[in-house]
């Protein structure tokens, strides 16, 4: 029974280390803005995409990766597109938790947001939080893209508030908000800035002057 338990513990540890290797490769690709998947990821493909080829390369000098990725290819590799997306989602949530922790330590923060259409004609809102850490270093941390059903001030303001709630951040600590000069953002009554200031009166609206570059 003791040998069985020991064998089980070893397998659990190996699985954890392999999962860590997968996460490291995903983070590397994400940090370097490298696309993960290729057009042909079949086992006989000469180029299975960046992520799988990176794992193949790492297997040459990592016996654990070789064991899972090369020798167990008929059983399980945890490298499917679905599993990659799931890992990316988990990693993204961990990053957001880290950002939220830093913002809470800074106490006050600013929000930067802009909305645009993606290739599928869906409205996407990009949200960034700006704050100063304990070393007096200014950070602008990208939080994510969020799909908006509509682009009116109320809908976009609710989206921003929901993001802050999901990160457990107090909107009353908001000191600035930076958007473009469109009426749905800067409108004095129904604009995002005006709606946000109803709950965060110290959140000064600042027009993003660089937005004009997008119109050139």
> Shortest CA distance to 39 belongs to which of 49, 54, 51?
49
Look at residue 4 in the predicted model and tell me its pLDDT: 76
List of residues 6+ apart from 23 with CB closer than 8 A = 87, 91
- Spatial contact of 140 and 132, defined as CB atoms under 8 Å apart: no
Note the pTM of the prediction, 2 decimals.
Answer: 0.82
Per-residue pLDDT at 210: 62
The predicted pLDDT at position 6 comes to 84
| Rounded average pLDDT per 10-residue block, the chain, 216 residues | 81 91 95 91 87 93 88 71 93 95 96 89 92 93 92 92 96 94 84 94 86 59
Contact between residue 191 and residue 183 where contact means Cβ atoms under 8 Å apart: yes
β strands within the chain, DSSP E: 109-117, 123-132, 138-148, 174-179, 204-207
Residue 73's pLDDT is 59
């Amino acid at each position: 029974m003791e040998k069985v338990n020991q064998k089980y513990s070893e397998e659990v540890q190996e699985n954890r280390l392999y999962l860590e290797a997968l996460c490291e490769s995903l983070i590397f690709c994400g940090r370097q803005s490298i696309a993960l998947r290729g057009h042909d990821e079949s086992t006989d493909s000469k180029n299975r995409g960046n992520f799988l080829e990176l794992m193949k390369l790492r297997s040459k000098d990592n016996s654990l990766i070789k064991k899972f990725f090369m020798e167990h290819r008929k059983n399980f590799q945890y490298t499917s597109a679905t599993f990659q997306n799931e890992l990316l989602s988990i990693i993204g949530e961990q990053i957001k938790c880290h950002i939220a922790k830093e913002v809470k330590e800074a106490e006050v923060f600013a929000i930067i947001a802009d909305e645009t259409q993606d290739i599928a004609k869906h409205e996407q809102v990009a949200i960034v939080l700006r704050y100063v850490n304990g070393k007096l270093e200014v950070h602008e941390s990208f939080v994510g893209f969020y799909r908006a059903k509509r682009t009116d001030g109320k809908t976009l303001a609710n989206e921003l508030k929901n993001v802050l709630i999901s990160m457990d951040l107090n909107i009353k600590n908001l000191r600035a908000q930076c958007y473009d000069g469109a009426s749905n953002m800067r409108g004095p009554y129904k604009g995002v800035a005006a709606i946000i200031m109803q709950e965060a009166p110290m959140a000064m609206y600042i027009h993003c002057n660089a937005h004009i570059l997008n119109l050139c």
